Chains A and B, each alone.
Chain A
Amino acid sequence: MKMNKQLFLLMGLIGAIAFTGCRKDFEEINTNPNEPTSVSPGFLLTASQKRIMDEYYDAFWGSRRGMQLAQYWSSNQYSNESRYRFRVETANGAWRDFYAGPLADLQRIIDLNTDTPEDVNGFGSNANQIAVAKLLQAWTYQHLTDAYGAIPMSEALMGVENTTPAYDDQATVYTNLLTLINDALSGMDGGAGPSGDQIYGGDMDMWTKFGNSLKLRVAMRMADVSPAAAQAAAEQALGTGMLIVGNGDNALFNYLPGAPNNNPINEDYKTRNDFAASNTMVDVLASLNDPRMGAYYAMNADGEYVGEVYGLDEANAALTPNDAVSQRAEGILAGDFPGIFFDAAQTHFLAAEAAERGWTSILSVEEHYNAAIGLSMNFWGIDDEAAIADYIAQADVAYSTAAGDWKEKIGRQKWIALYMQGYEGWAEWRRLDFGILQLPADGVLEGDGIPHRMEYPLDEQTLNNASWSAGVTANGGDALNTPLWWDVN
């Protein structure tokens, strides 16, 4: 009897231990305590704005490719990228960092405001949040298509429902861009702007200006291949009068001085100094006595501005001592040097072009041209109006007397003004064909001459092969020299 009691006690004890809290709320156990299930869309907006610029100025995608493609910088030693042998990992990383990064975050803002508007209307009006997100998406998509050509856009960002999105050819992408921008502009309402906006602080008038300027840029890029649509869009934008026309309207992402919110160029410079001034730019600035030289570059050890020859091979580049050539200016290397989405000088150059093409613009070609140069000077810290006027008056600068056709005139000054916006400078070189850029001194490592696009990332070939393959066909090829749809003559 005694034994049985002991037995039952033991069994009971064991049973109790084993089944304690059995099936206790498994759902609660599997709720992630480390991450929230909902956030303010303002947090997503801040993150996406930063991540766009983080990638645009990334050491590999931004500096080794963008800045060198536009020949704003030369390489100090590891010069293979400047001679167009690009690292495979870079394209993979940039593609992922744009699509799965800010584009996905911006899409989430749009979805939250569309699907559950009451939950998120405390962070700005639903319509305005959507509008700003769309404008930033349009900016990013334009960057991607101008780099690659055909890209996934209509089928993109659908998550598990479409893991192999098809590519839209560039003509379709550009049509989509205009649609996206127009939707954004017309969708804005009078309500509050989005919170978490690090560019304009929620000021919807500014976003309208941004939208119209971006529209103007999109239009102008396709002006040679789709002139009717381009003209219509450009005239619409210019007709509103609401564009980024003064430096106070610039769309800048204001980085902070310290890590992890500092400019990626600053972060990279802490341990590596891979770039110097390129002689392409230095020689042009020197020949024009351009006051922006000191803002762009530093003096070498002899107190002169000397550019490093662009496109030396690694051995020759290593032989050029760092103190013999101009390094990058201190200002550019600062932690809080802003990421530039769109600046006023750009708008004026575009408006000048519109005037030159005979479209309805705001001012005359020359007025826009001079205003653009002036604004660029101001942006780079040159406020002496007299000096600016002297500069413009030079025969090589003044619109009436500068060399070449209108494309070359506008193109040259625009290229100078687009310093630090490498991809934009490269895009305009392809479009306006103003020359200046030279072949790498020690020859090209891959392809034929200066590239006209970037090759698709290897990941797309492996993870999205069918769509990639069709995309390559639609694009006319996947080589560095395959010209883009808008890159004619």
Chain B
Amino acid sequence: MKAQLLFFMALLFVGTSWAQTQVSGTVTDKSSGESLPGVTVVVDGTGTGVFTDLDGRFSLQADPSSDALVFSFVGYNTTRIKLEGSTTVNVKLESGVALDEVVVTALGVSREKKALGYSVQELGNDAFTQAKTENVVRSMTGKIAGVQVTSGTSIGSSSKILLRGASSITGDNQPLFVVDGVPMDNSDYSTADQQRSAGGYDYGNAIQDLNPDDIESVSVLKGPAAAALYGSRASNGAIVITTKSGAGYQASGKRGLGVSVSSSVMFNDVYVLPDYQNSYGGGPGTAWVDTIGGHPIPDYGYDGSWGPALDGTLVRHWDSWYDYEGDEDFGVARPWAPTESDVEEFFQTGVTYSNNFSVTGASDVSSFRLSYTNHNQTGVYENSSLNRNTLSFAGANQVSEKLKASVSANYVQSIGEGRPLTGYGESVMSQFTQWGQRQLSMDRLRNYMNPDGSHRTWNRNSVTDASPHYWDNPFWERYMNVQNDQRDRVFGNITLNYQINDVFSLMGRALTDFYIDRREERIAVGGVREPYYSEYTRQLQETNLDAYLNFAKDLNDDLNITGFLGVNRRIRDFKRLGAYTLGGLNTAGLYTVTNGASGYEVSDYQDQKVVNSVLGSVSLGFQRTLFLDITGRNDWSSTLPTENNSYFYPSATASYVFSEVVDIPALSFGKVRLGWAQVGNDTDPYRTGVTYAINTNFGSSGSATVPNAQNNPNLRPEITSSFEAGVEANFFLDRLRLDFTYYNSTTKDLIFNVPVSAASGYSSTVLNAGETNNKGIELALSGTPVMTDDFRWDIGFNFAKNQNELVSLADGVENIRYTSLFGVTLEARPGQPLGTFYGYDFLYDDAGNKLVDDDGFYLSTDEVVPIGTILPDFTGGVNTTLQYKNLSFYALVDFQKGGSIHSYSNQWGKYSGTLAETAENNIREEGIVVEGVYASTGEANTSVIGAQDHFFANQGYVIHAADQYDASFVKLREMRLDYNLPSDMTSGLPFSNISVGVFGRNLAILHKNVPHIDPEVATSASNVQGFEGGQLPAERTIGINLKFNL
């Protein structure tokens, strides 16, 4: 036992001696009274430390007159106790979720947080498992200053995460996700149409394969200073995830096997739906199309609701024309009245079962953890599901005294089926909100197929022609056009650590992330769209080979030095093979590419990228109060021209723990940080050479074209330089904690596909063009206003403000356009933030009144002008935890101010008369006089215009700004109530550490400025954000958790 302790001490801490005597004591759990083994006890300000033994006892050398001891343990609040003369200290630790003594930094190196010159914030396992979601990124919403997460709403959909705004134009500005040292792929492969909300499936971003139950802790390294060692991809920061292993179990002295089980059930429901009007039904005007058998006939083919008033007149509805045996509706006239089975009846309650079972074991020389998780989810959309199975293994073995080997292997299989379509024109909300008839009954629509297999839709062409005019029956879509996808992913690493002597150690490892992702989409025979089948298989493998020489030495009493020198080779291989049918399907119901009515087309693509790097880091610590880190990295990338493919980037950070030197009343800890870093960035493969695009043969002739994007043989790497300064201060014995950061980051020589005037022969060209700047502040403030023996109240507040600007572009380039939809473009222009919307705006007089023409219609600008930006002014969150004995309550509210979205649901919903405002105040009978003044005379507008004309001409289709909305919101994001069964209640049972909890996510939108929809809009994790088309409704989750150990 003692030998083990000594061994750990020697490896992890380098001790020095002062005026020392033996100090000892016991550490227990405050609520249960149980002794806590494995707690880290450190003499504050030194590296001297020990672990408590199995009985919670410790003993170490310290100076009782001046030292303080710091006790920290995973899952408990770190406690600092000044010795003040005593040589015996007994401590009761309280459960908490913050880890704040030792953090994981770049390359998995654990560092004392106080020694870091840059901002790092952490989340523990509870943040991800107490209120689970199917995409781990979502659990980070609102919890960390400066982290902005925007999520799609449907099952398994994308979550885009931004740290400190956006700096790059191409590339998606996502941080690098690293799991146990393995850089993980986070692609979403979204198409351009998917990104601008013009249709497609949201398959989600790939990091959602990560299982929340396996997460031990997550470090968010926000800036280049923190992430410089990771290289190019970490120019947007890095999220370093450590998964659970057997190490903690072994370190706490436990031997043998331990089993833990965690189980959750969650219920999802739709909770944001537009406010519809229920006064008028479908049709282009109030006249009936025809009268048959004495009953009026509505216009089935028209997909808008400007039709006759829903006054109960008996009419022949769409489903009264099906002359099949047993069809009770045939020939029957029913009231033309508001429906009893409205849009909300389309959705069901989605249920998710998530179960995790893990076994941990340890012996004196080895430890392991094996875990299996099953995630079984049905969506709020009928016939939709997402199932994920994860098997993880982590093991470590001390092979010899100096050699340690460890391995981590994970397998995730994700199977999705029946995901809903997103976007304008394809999502189911398109035919409810944007283009629909208000009187439809969801219950009746559930019967989507006739006995002979033909399609029943409300949007029939005419009385005699039942085939769909523009829209399929939404249930036909659910059951007949079912997509399915499967991803099998393996990732892990093998690491060897060899301790050469006291100073040097050598580490070599191989890491890989590999997956095969297959997606099949289909359109059945009998609907509006041409029948279709496609399958795409993507195979991605990224392998990293590392070797590091680590060193750690005390140069003298005051100065110690640690660091490493290493090499890395990264190989990324991507292959995609897809095929899709042409011209429809020959045989209905047969979904294979050879069933194409006009054959099929094959798409074949592969690329490879290799980066070799040399990197190193030196860290100096002076008297345990002043720390200096210097890093450097040089990359050689295969994607840049060979004459110019090497780029070097250094960083330097310093921190000064001034509270050790200066005694400020109430200040228990204070540190200033300063850092400067550079990160270089290469580009995607094949941007430097000249090639042609091959088309399908024309008959027997080959066909090829010059691509629209022009390559550049003279590309240079882009370089981000970033400066960061911060203060951390804790007051009142850490009862009040403050962490403030200011950063200023500039990226030069941005590489991107610049859209150019097509008259040049290309619609875009790859250039080093431009400079962006991000600057801002982050604030994390937390405190414990009340702390008694039984009750504790914590509040945390985080806030971030980022100001983003495209400083300049290259000569001859006036702007960059990300995308456009219906005339609204998303662009970046010098002097504006990245991601500014451009469109036509209203015209205003000097007093701010809108101008109308002589007929009473709003006038618009002749040229496009900026009408909003996607990046918000500031974001943040407030969370609070109340703990009373074994009960704890947590709530999180997060907010965003600013940001802008263009809402097509609002735009087309008004255009087609489905939204409430199109029938309010008798607008259809009497028309409307819009607020404004005549441009010609300056007098107030008095011209009455018809409702339909108003909703055609005065809104976002013609004047884009009319449907551009401020995306600010305040949301009640999460609430949890957890109860840890006291250990005396379960002492006779084989179970221990039992906890139950109830939680809710996305509970309420407390404030928003955009009507009818949820202001958080995302259909992909790309840079193109802010276009809302047919948004799938936001979902609320309520669930229960049960955890226990065996």
Residues of A bordering B, CB below 8 Å = 3, 6-7, 10-11, 13-15, 17-20, 22-24, 26-27, 29-40, 42-44, 46-48, 50-51, 77, 87-89, 92, 95-96, 98-101, 103-105, 107-108, 151-152, 155-160, 162-165, 196, 198, 256, 258-261, 270-271, 314-315, 318-319, 321-322, 458-467
Contact = CB atoms under 8 A, between A and B. Distances in A.
Contacts of A47: 695, 698, 703-705
A46 B703 contact: yes
A276 to B, nearest CB: 14
A155 B812 CA distance: 14
A467 B812 CA distance: 11
Contacts of A162: 760, 812
Contact of A163 (B608, B694, B813): B813
Interface in B357-404: 402-403
B596 to A, nearest CB: 9
B333 interface: no
B545 interface: yes
B702 A46 contact: yes
A157 B761 CA distance: 4
A273 B529 CA distance: 13
B763 interface: yes
29 contacts: A10-B403, A10-B508, A20-B569, A22-B569, A26-B645, A30-B685, A31-B686, A32-B691, A34-B604, A37-B691, A39-B694, A47-B698, A50-B703, A88-B822, A88-B823, A96-B763, A156-B759, A159-B765, A160-B767, A162-B812, A198-B698, A260-B601, A319-B289, A458-B823, A461-B863, A461-B864, A462-B814, A462-B864, A463-B756
Given A6-B498, A39-B694, 13 more contacts: A7-B498, A17-B510, A37-B689, A42-B701, A43-B692, A46-B702, A99-B760, A159-B761, A163-B754, A270-B584, A315-B284, A318-B284, A463-B814
B302 A318 contact: yes
A29 B609 contact: yes
Contact of A96 (B530, B703, B708): B708
B506 A10 contact: yes
B462 interface: yes
Interface stretch (B19-27, B65-73, B634-642, B932-940): B634-642
Contacts of A99: 758-761
A18 B570 CA distance: 9
Given A23-B636, A318-B284, A459 B696 contact: no
A196 B701 contact: yes
Contacts of B864: 458, 461-462
Given A92-B820, A99-B761, A260-B601, A321 B462 contact: yes
B194 to A, nearest CB: 17
A23 B529 CA distance: 51
A163 B639 CA distance: 24
Nearest to B401: A3
A35 B605 CA distance: 9
A46 to B, nearest CB: 5
A155 to B, nearest CB: 8
A159 to B, nearest CB: 5
A44 B705 contact: yes
B298 to A, nearest CB: 12
Which 8 pairs between the two chains have the least Cβ-Cβ distance?
Answer: A14-B508, A88-B823, A35-B691, A464-B757, A43-B704, A104-B761, A152-B759, A157-B761
Interface in B739-784: 754-763, 765, 767
Contacts of A19: 567, 569
A26 B610 contact: yes
Given A23-B636, A96-B763, A101-B705, A462 B827 contact: yes
B760 A156 contact: yes
Given A10-B498, A47-B703, A318 B301 contact: yes
B500 to A, nearest CB: 6
Contacts of B496: 10, 14
Contacts of B693: 35
Contact of B694 (A36, A95, A271): A36
Contacts of B758: 95-96, 98-100, 459
B666 interface: no
A319 B307 CA distance: 12
Contacts of A35: 686, 691-694, 707
B567 A29 contact: no
Contacts of B704: 36, 39-40, 43-44, 47
B704 to A, nearest CB: 4
A164 B698 CA distance: 34
B598 A165 contact: no
B163 interface: no
Residue in B461, B462, B547, B755 whose Cβ sees the most chain A Cβ within 10 Å: B547
